[in-house]
Amino acid sequence: MSQAVGINFKKSSIDAFIAGLMALVLFGPIVGVVLDGYGFNAEFGRVAWIVAIVAVGRFVMSSFMQTEKGIALAFRYANNDDGVTVLPPGHKSKMVWIIPLVVVIGLVLPFVASKYVLTVIILGLIYVLLGLGLNIVVGLAGLLDLGFVGFYAIGAYGLALGYENLGLGFWSMLPIAAIMAAVAGAILGFPVLRMHGDYLAIVTLGFGEIIRLILTNWASFTHGPNGVSAPLPTFFGLEFKRRSSEGTFHEFFNLPYDSAYKYMFIYLVLFAVVWAVLFIKHRLVKMPIGRAWEALREDEIACRSLGLNHVLVKLSAFMIGASTGGLAGVFFATYQGFVNPSSFTFFESALILAIVVLGGMGSTLGVVIAAFCLTVLPEMLREFAEYRVLMFGILMVVMMIWKPRGIVRVTRTGFSPKKGVAK
Amino acid sequence: MNQENILAVENLVMHFGGIKALNDVTFNIKRGSVSALIGPNGAGKTTVFNCLTGFYKATGGKIQLSAGGKETSIIKVLGEPFKATDFISPVAFVSRLKYKMFGGSHLVNRAGLSRTFQNIRLFKEMSVVENLLVAQHMLVNRSLVAGILNTKGYQKAEEEALERAFYWLGVVDLVDSANRLAGELSYGQQRRLEIARAMCTNPEIVCLDEPAAGLNPSETEALTKMIRVLRDEHNTTVLLIEHDMGMVMDISDYIVVLDHGEVIAKGGPDDIKSNPKVIAAYLGAEEGEEVTL
C-alpha cells in the first residue's frame, strides 16, 4: 500500500483539506456572491468547482512530493546553490554552437517577421544594450546606479538635437552620442565615485531626474514636453522615406515603398551593434580592467592596498557603461522617430536595473535573456495591460525568492596550471 | 635615497578626535630585515600600520619610504591640505593638487610597500589565480585596444602575469587550489593567499598584520619558513604585527614595542625579552620583578 512507496495519504488529505478551506475562504465571497441590483445571487456551483480543483490539485502535488521523484525534485531546489563556480581549465562552452545559430536566425528574421514583431524585437535589443551597459556598472563594478536612464536620454536627445541644430545624421551621432554619454558619466562620476553603496545610488537617482527635468524645462533648446523629432538612419546616403531629394532606398533598388524597410535596416544595424558590444563586453571581463572592476566590487580597501586607483577604476566602469547607454539612446530615438522627456522616467531606470538583477549580476547571457523577457512579455500581455506592472512586480518577488542570484549563474574561467616563474 | 633604512618613521602622531592613538612614534626599519611591531591590545599597532600603508592620514610627523630607487613621503602622496606658500609657487601648487585629486593609498603600494589585513580581505567570489592577477594590475598590459583585439603583446603580458601568479602559488603551497574560489579556502589557506597576493605587486617591503592569527602551531611554523623565504630569496623587507611571541622572537631581527601609542622599547629579540618596561607593559608586573617572556 502507501507505505511501500512511502506516500502518507493522511498527510496529503490534510494538505488538500487545508488548501480547499483556504480556497473556500478566498473564492467564496469573490466568486460565490454575484451582485444583482440591490440583492445578490449565491453561486455555490462555481465555488464548489474551484475548491474541488484546488483540493485535488493540492492532493496530487502533496502525494507526488512524497514519491522518490518528488523528493529528488525538492532536494534539487533546496540545494540549488546559485553561487559562483569556477569552470575547469579548457572548458568548451556550448555557446560555440548556439551563437552561430542565433546569428543566422537573427539575420533571417527581418525578412520573415511582420513589422509589429520586428518593432518589438528592436525594442528588446535596445534593452539588451541598456542592460549590458548597466551590467558593467552594477553587475561587475558593484556601483548601484539608479539614474542610468540619464545616459539613455543623452544618447536619444543627442541624435534628435544634433540633427536639428547641427544637421548631424544617425551615423555621425552614433559614435558622438556614445562619447557624449561617456563624458557625462565622467563629469557625474568624478566627484561622486568616492562614495559607495546607498549614497551613490541616491546621487545617481538625482542625476537621472536632473537630466529629465532639464529636458522638460529647457524649452527653448529641447522643446520641453513637446519633444523633438529624430532622423532615420540612411543606407549609404539613401533615405527610407517615401520621397526625398537625396534619393530614396526603394527608388534606387526599384522596389515598391514599404515602411517596414526602415525597421529592417534599424534592426540589422542594431543587431550588429549588439553583437559588437557583446564581444567587447566578453573581452573586457577577461582583461585587467574587467578583473579590477570585479575586485572593486568584492573589496575596495583591498584594491587600494594593491595599487589600484579605485576612483579611476570606478570611473572607467561608469564611462563604458554610460557610453553603451548612449548608443541605446540613439537607436531608441531613430526607431521612435521622436523623443520626449516622458520616455526617460525613473521607471525606465528601475526596469533596466530589474533586467540586470533578473539576469544575474555580471552574467552577459542572463542579461540578454532578461532584457527580452521584460520587453517582449509585456507586449504579449497586451490584453492584461492594466496588470502589466503588477505582473512585473510579482515576477520580481518570485525571482528574488527562488533565484536571488539571477537566471543564469555566473561562472569564472579556470586557468590551467603553469610552471611558475619569479620576476 | 637612504640605503640603510627602507622605512623611516619620525614623530608620527595620530589623533582621532580627542583620542590620541599614536603619540610621537619614531622608528626605522632596516632594508632586508624582518621586523616586528608588538604591544598589548590597543597599543596602536594597527594604527601605525594604517598610517604606513596610507589608509589613515597621520595627524603629524613624517613617514619616508625609500624603495624603487626613490624617496616617497607617504603623507604627501595621500594629498595634504593647501598651505599659504602653495599659492606663490605654481610647482608646489600643481603637485599638491595632483595628489589631492589622484593621490591615495594606492600610490603607497606603487611606491613599493604592500600589506595584508588583520581580518582577511580577499576577493571572495573570484578564483585564487584571479586574486593574484588583480594584484598585478600595474604590471600587465592595461591598454583597452590591445586587450579587445587580443594582440601578441597583450597575450605575452597576460602569460607572464599567470606565470608569476603560479610562482607565488607555489611559494605559499596553493597550486592545487588555483581554480577554487578564494572564499571557499580554509582560514589558513586564505592567510597564505593574502600574503601571495601582497607579494604579487612586487613590493620591496611587505607589512603583515597578524599573519599567524588563527593558525595552528604547524601552520605557524610553515609561515615562519615562508617569511624567511621572502627575506632571503626575494630581498623583501618584512614588517609584521604579531601576538605569537614564540614566532616573533624566532624570526625577528628587530622589534619595536608599542604601548599606549608610544614606543617603549626598540632592539633585537634578546634586548626586548629582558627589557623590564616591556615585561611591565605585557604583564603589568612591578619593575624589577623576575619575569621572562
CB < 8 Å & 24+ apart, contacts of B10-13: B10/B61, B10/B62, B10/B63, B10/B64, B11/B60, B11/B61, B11/B62, B12/B48, B12/B51, B12/B58, B12/B60, B12/B61, B12/B62, B12/B63, B13/B58, B13/B59, B13/B60, B13/B61
Average pLDDT of span B275-285: 81
Q: Is A409 exposed, middle or buried (0-12, 13-18, 19+ CB in 10 A)?
A: middle
Would you call B179 and A420 a contact, using CB atoms and an 8 Å cutoff? no
Q: What is the pLDDT of residue A210?
A: 92
Pair A13, A131 in one domain: no
Q: What is the pLDDT of residue A162?
A: 92
Q: What is the pLDDT of residue A80?
A: 55
Would you call A84 and B150 a contact, using CB atoms and an 8 Å cutoff? no
pLDDT in tens, B141-167: 888 889 889 899 999 999 999 999 999
Would you call B114 and A312 a contact, using CB atoms and an 8 Å cutoff? no
Would you call A307 and B201 a contact, using CB atoms and an 8 Å cutoff? yes
Structural domain range at position A225: 98-234+269-410
Residue B165 contacts A, CB cutoff 8 Å? yes
In chain B, pLDDT over 70 holds for what percent of residues? 96
CA distance B96 to chain A (A): 17
Average pLDDT of span A91-103: 84
Q: Which 8-state DSSP code applies to residue A287?
A: S
Average pLDDT of span A61-83: 73
Average pLDDT of span A57-69: 84
Pair A65, A125 in one domain: no
Q: What is the pLDDT of residue A400?
A: 79
Average pLDDT of span A351-371: 88
CATH code, domain carrying A109: 1.10.3470
Q: What is the pLDDT of residue B91?
A: 83
Would you call A84 and B137 a contact, using CB atoms and an 8 Å cutoff? no
Pair A335, A383 in one domain: yes
ipTM of the complex: 0.89
Question: In 3D, which of B276, B193, B110 has the Cα closest to residue A306?
Answer: B110
Pair A206, A309 in one domain: yes
3-state secondary structure B50-112: HHHCCCCCCCEEEEEEEECCEEEEHHHHCCCCCCHHHHCCHHHHHHHHHHHHHCCHHHHHHCC
Q: Is A37 exposed, middle or buried (0-12, 13-18, 19+ CB in 10 A)?
A: exposed
Per-residue pLDDT at A2 exceeds 50: no
Among A78, A112, A132, give the residue marking a domain's end. Answer: A78
Residue A191 contacts B, CB cutoff 8 Å? no
Question: Nearest-CA residue of chain A relative to B194?
Answer: A302
Per-residue pLDDT at B291 exceeds 60: no
Q: How many CB pairs under 8 A join A and B?
A: 146
CA distance A303 to chain B (A): 8
Q: Is residue A131 included in any domain, yes or no?
A: yes
Question: Nearest-CA residue of chain A relative to B157?
Answer: A288
Would you call A294 and B125 a contact, using CB atoms and an 8 Å cutoff? yes
Round to whole Å and give the CA distance between A349 and A126: 14
Q: Which residues of B touch A83 (CB under 8 A)?
A: 125, 181
Decide which of A195 and A97 is more confident.
A97
pLDDT in tens, A202-232: 989 999 999 999 999 998 888 888 889 888 8
Pair A112, A179 in one domain: yes
Pair A198, A327 in one domain: yes
Residue that the C-alpha cell 608586573 belongs to: B285
Identify how many contiguous H helices and E strands chain B contains and give both numbers: 12, 10
Residue A412 contacts B, CB cutoff 8 Å? yes
pLDDT in tens, A34-53: 788 888 888 788 888 888 99
Q: What is the mean pLDDT of chain B?
A: 88
Q: For residue A319, how far is the Cα from the chain centroid?
A: 19
Q: For the ranges A97-106, A134-143, A361-370, B78-87, which has the lowest average pLDDT? A: B78-87
Among A44, A78, A112, give the residue marking a domain's end. Answer: A78
Q: Which residues of A touch B198 (CB under 8 A)?
A: 305-306
* Best of A194, A306, A308, A423 to mutate (most B CBs within 10 Å, chain B): A306
Q: Is residue A360 included in any domain, yes or no?
A: yes
Pair A68, A108 in one domain: no
Round to whole Å and give the CA distance between B47 and B260: 11
Q: Which 8-state DSSP code applies to residue A141?
A: S
Round to whole Å and give the CA distance between A171 and A334: 11
Phi then psi for residue B202, to 5 deg, are: 55, 55
Contact criterion met (CB below 8 Å) for B104 and B159: no
Q: What is the mean pLDDT of chain A?
A: 85
Pair A281, A403 in one domain: yes
Would you call A418 and B162 a contact, using CB atoms and an 8 Å cutoff? yes
Residue B57 contacts A, CB cutoff 8 Å? no
Per-residue pLDDT at A310 exceeds 60: yes
Q: Domain count for chain A, please give it.
A: 2
Would you call B179 and A423 a contact, using CB atoms and an 8 Å cutoff? no
Round to whole Å and give the CA distance between A304 and A44: 70
In chain A, pLDDT over 70 holds for what percent of residues? 96
Q: What is the pLDDT of residue B289?
A: 53
β-strand partners of A412: A86
Pair A160, A126 in one domain: yes
Residue A5 contacts B, CB cutoff 8 Å? no
Q: What is the pLDDT of residue A248?
A: 76
Pair A283, A371 in one domain: yes
- CB-nearest to B142 from A286, A289, A299 is A289
Round to whole Å and give the CA distance between A333 and A156: 5
pTM of the complete model: 0.84
Can you list the domains of chain B with their CATH numbers? 1-74+104-112+203-293 (3.40.50.300), 125-202 (no CATH)
Would you call B197 and A299 a contact, using CB atoms and an 8 Å cutoff? no
Q: What is the pLDDT of residue A184?
A: 93
Pair A220, A145 in one domain: yes
Contact map slice: A 48-87 vs B, CB within 8 A: 83-84, 86
Q: Is residue A250 included in any domain, yes or no?
A: no
Contact criterion met (CB below 8 Å) for A331 and A273: yes
Q: Which residues of A touch B123 (CB under 8 A)?
A: 294-295, 298-299, 302
Per-residue pLDDT at A62 exceeds 70: yes
Q: Is residue A254 included in any domain, yes or no?
A: no
Question: In 3D, which of A354, A372, A323 has the Cα closest to residue A127?
Answer: A372
Q: Which residues of A touch B114 (CB under 8 A)?
A: 305-307
Pair A105, A29 in one domain: no
Q: What is the pLDDT of residue A1?
A: 41
Q: What is the pLDDT of residue A279?
A: 93
Q: Where are the alpha helices (DSSP H) in A162-259?
A: 170-192, 198-217, 219-222, 249-252
Which residues does B7 contact at the CB level (< 8 Å), separation at least 6?
B28, B29, B52, B63, B64, B65, B66, B113, B205, B237, B239
Which residues does A335 contact at the CB level (< 8 Å), separation at least 6?
A119, A122, A123, A126, A263, A266
